Amino acid sequence: MIDTHAHLHSRAFDEDREDVLTKCWDVGLRYILEINIDRAGWPKARALAESDPRIFTTVGVHPMDVGEATHADLDGLESELAHPKVLAIGETGIDYYRDYSPHDKQREFFRRHVEWARDHGKPLVIHSRCRKDGPSSHDDVLSILEEVGKGEVRGVLHCFSGDVEVARRGTALGMKLGMGGAISYGRKKNRKWVAELRNAVGPDAFLLETDCPYLAPHPHQQERNDPSYVPLIAQYLADYMEMDVEEVARRTNTAAEALFGFRAKTADAPGSSDE
């Protein structure tokens, strides 16, 4: 299995990062995609990816950090897209759930990331979150994808929280749906929702992720999340999709590999083996 969305360079792991990684490989994880969120954190994310052939990374400015970010930060990060361990662009997107960053600046920065994806041919890792009774981040994300990158970009709607219509529009634009610990919060409601998504967009539209250190799956909700919980998240998804967990692992591995290309990069890397 693959964790397609981890923040292991977060301070939350400063005391025991090595032990956490050992635990992840011990439970059978194949790869981890370490997600960068701002320019200041980039050296740490890069160093982590450089430390192990099974860890890859991304560059981008998280929508919640856009308020503080400058165009020079964006330009600085764009030049890092050539780094051999950078497989994707993000974390980018739009967050109307918490008002950390001005909405127009979030849309402008997201647009820039979609242009990068189009111009550099790398997939997008997209965050989209909003309140039920407020403006829809999903509508704005999908509209910008349609305007700037239609037919030319692909990626993942990470920690997917949209309805069937958002899933249809998103997958038609080349997006996968990231499933993490949140699917374990309220089994009945999520079973119905995942079944609807599966019927609408098929069983190959999903990726596994943790978003660690946040959103640990039940019954670990109050604890720090880490990638060793991916198999537990896969269990929930398998249960909702009425599939064996092995089949979920196989389908999500194939989808993640096709989107990010871990294996080809691993074979490239000096001194690494292709497992």
Identity of the residue, 25 or 214, whose beta carbon is nearer to Zn ion in the bound complex:
214
Per DSSP, 221 falls in state T
State which residue, 211 or 226, has the beta carbon closest to Zn ion. Answer: 211
Task: Identify which of residues 95 and 241 has a Cβ nearer to Zn ion in the complex.
Answer: 95
User: Look-up: residue for tokens 């402008």?
Assistant: 108
Of residues 219-248, which lie at the interface with Zn ion (CB under 5 A)?
none
Q: Is the dihedral of CA 22, 88, 170, 163 positive or negative?
A: positive
185 vs 268, beta carbon nearer Zn ion:
185
Provide, rounded to whole angstroms, the least separation between the CB of residue 267 and Zn ion: 28
Min dist CB 214 to Zn ion, Å, is 7
Residues 198-217 that bind Zn ion (CB under 5 A): 211
What kind and span of H or E run contains 5?
Answer: strand 2-6
Q: Which residue is nearest to Zn ion (CB)?
A: 211
Segment contacting Zn ion (CB under 5 A): 16-24, 38-46, 89-97, 239-247? 89-97
Residue type, 194: V
Residue with the two structure tokens 């979030």: 106
Helical pair 230-241 and 187-201, crossing angle rounded to 10 deg? 70
DSSP state of 80: G
Give min distance, CB of 44 to Zn ion, in A. Answer: 15
Q: Are strands 86-95 and 55-59 parallel, antiparallel or unpaired?
A: parallel
The residues of the shown chain that bind Zn ion, judged by CB under 5 A, are 91, 211
